[in-house]
Amino acid sequence: MFSAPEKNVEQLGLKEGQIVADFGAGSGAYTIAAAKALRGTGKVYAVDVQKDLLTRLENSCATEHVSNVAFIWGDLEKLGGTKLHENSCDVVIVSNVLFQAPDKRTIIEEAKRVLHPGGKVVIIDWTGSFNSMGPTAEQVFPEPEARKLAESAGFAFDRTLDAGNYHYGLVFQKGGTRTFAQQTTAPRPV
């Protein structure tokens, strides 16, 4: 089975009112799945470096009547590049991004920066190279390396997701305790 964003988001157990960031939103499959899982509440920040993809995603959201999405033109490989406030998100999704990013460490550090204590980052990426599908063999970022990267950034391993036959899914939690102010303050892009 190919990776199914709706199924993967369902496994995350998102709750109404949560704040989600989709790092490297691309075509927006995870953005739209997360926005729908929030049932019109909360917010999904679709972050991508490609303006044309964000424009297409904005049109897709309008067509599907998904209104709880904000679109951010940002650089994931720069600390602060998402333009999101520190400790402002409940969940960060990093799907099919790490295999193509030269600076994987900064992407994970940026996820840590925007997550509130106790927040979760989910990493979904390719398990291998499959002919004309997915990354080249040299681009594949193996699951053990992804886990090592997240743990070295201070994340605690939480669980795996069943992300299909061609992808792995890992969920990590940011340490610390969320304060009352963090629970009641809505995040805003800088």
Q: Provide mean pLDDT across the span 132-140.
A: 88
In tens, the pLDDT along 21-78 reads 999 999 999 999 999 999 989 999 999 999 999 999 999 999 999 999 999 999 999 9
What pLDDT is attached to residue 181?
Answer: 45
Q: Provide mean pLDDT across the span 121-135.
A: 90
Q: Provide mean pLDDT across the span 101-127.
A: 97
Distance CA 72, CA 50 (A): 10
Name the residue range of residue 18's domain. Answer: 5-184
What pLDDT is attached to residue 177?
Answer: 60
Distance of CA 179 to the CA centre of its chain: 23
Of 13, 11, 23, which is closest to residue 114 (Cα–Cα)? 23
> Does position 190 have pLDDT exceeding 60, yes or no?
no
Does residue 190 fall inside a structural domain? no
> Does position 2 have pLDDT exceeding 70, yes or no?
no
What pLDDT is attached to residue 180?
Answer: 42
Total domains, the chain: 1
Does residue 85 fall inside a structural domain? yes
In tens, the pLDDT along 146-186 reads 999 999 999 999 999 999 989 999 999 998 665 544 444 44
What pLDDT is attached to residue 1?
Answer: 44
- Please give the C-alpha separations between residue 75 and each of 19, 87, 95, 106, 122, in angstroms, as whole numbers: 19, 18, 15, 10, 19
CATH code for position 59 = 3.40.50.150
**Beta bridge pairs of residue 98:** none
Does residue 189 fall inside a structural domain? no
Does residue 96 fall inside a structural domain? yes
Helices then strands, counting H and E runs in the chain, come out as 6, 7
In tens, the pLDDT along 81-95 reads 999 999 999 999 999
What pLDDT is attached to residue 132?
Answer: 76
What pLDDT is attached to residue 184?
Answer: 44
